[in-house]
A and B are shown apart, each in its own frame.
Chain A
Amino acid sequence: MAGENFLFCQLLFFSIPLFIYLGSWLFGNLHQNKLLLKLDMEEKALAGTANPVSNLSNPSQARQIDSSSLVMESISVGPSWWQMFTGGIKGLFGGKIHSYDKMLTYGRRVVIHRLRVQAIQSGFDEVINLRVETSMISKKSKNDDKTAAYEFTAYGTAIRYSASQD
């Protein structure tokens, strides 16, 4: 009887990582799909309005400018453990790594969307010279691969045109 118990314990012990990764896959997918859906809805709500954000280096209208200021937004996102795991396996063979795509595109879309919302809310007519930067936030050490985060920063110059038409 004792031997069977021991075997059972061993089995349980080795299946813990499996359950963790399965949980990460399930809950990660649910959570990330929820985030993407929310962003989709927010973007759709703004669909009819003007999009003031561009990466031109000069104002698009030759009107008198009232004021300008630097605006920025940033976000840190990370892939789930499951995505890191599958990405790591794919990395052995090379080629496309789809598992990282989801959160990277999400992060970039979110900062640009937030910058647009910020510009509209603070009454700016246009944001020019948009830059989006990506940086990886370091792991604590080589064997601590449980934390991975990417930071996206979007910044640009917001412009308010003066009210008078000239």
Chain B
Amino acid sequence: MSQGMHLSNTETVPGKLITGSFGLVQGSTVRAKNVFKDIGAGLKNMVGGELKAYTELLQEARNEALQRMMMDAQGRGANAIVNVRFATSAVAGGAAELFAYGTAVTVE
């Protein structure tokens, strides 16, 4: 994805051999919705369908969480993260927490 870091959500990096493990790495971010976007989305809710403002916001946030997780792994000297999982939870006040976690490993 970036900086030559291999990411995968399977137990191994396909086609590569794992040579070392560095334990769990994680990254998280909390994002709140902008008031104007909130009102816009509320109105869009009248007809239902895709709420583009939220889609973009959460995509950005998820990328940020991934970046933080990769920084953590890089700090430990790993070059791959396996078994990546995402979790989203709604925390108070219209904010959402995006959380990414995985196991940092080195591959040959």
Contacts and interface: CB of A to CB of B under 8 A. Distances in A.
Main secondary structure of the interface of B (DSSP, over half): mixed
B5 to A, nearest CB: 10
A66 B79 CA distance: 17
B49 interface: yes
Chain B interface: which size bin? 35 or more
A146 B48 CA distance: 11
A129 B49 contact: no
A94 B58 CA distance: 32
B86 A153 contact: yes
Contacts, number: 137
Contacts of B41: 78, 147, 149
Given A68-B14, A138-B91, A146 B86 contact: no
Interface of A: 20, 23-24, 27-28, 30-32, 35, 57-59, 64-70, 72, 74-81, 83, 102-103, 110, 128-129, 131, 133, 135-140, 146-149, 151, 153, 155-157, 159
The 6 residue pairs across chains A and B that have the minimum distance between CB atoms: A65-B15, A138-B90, A80-B48, A76-B54, A70-B7, A135-B88
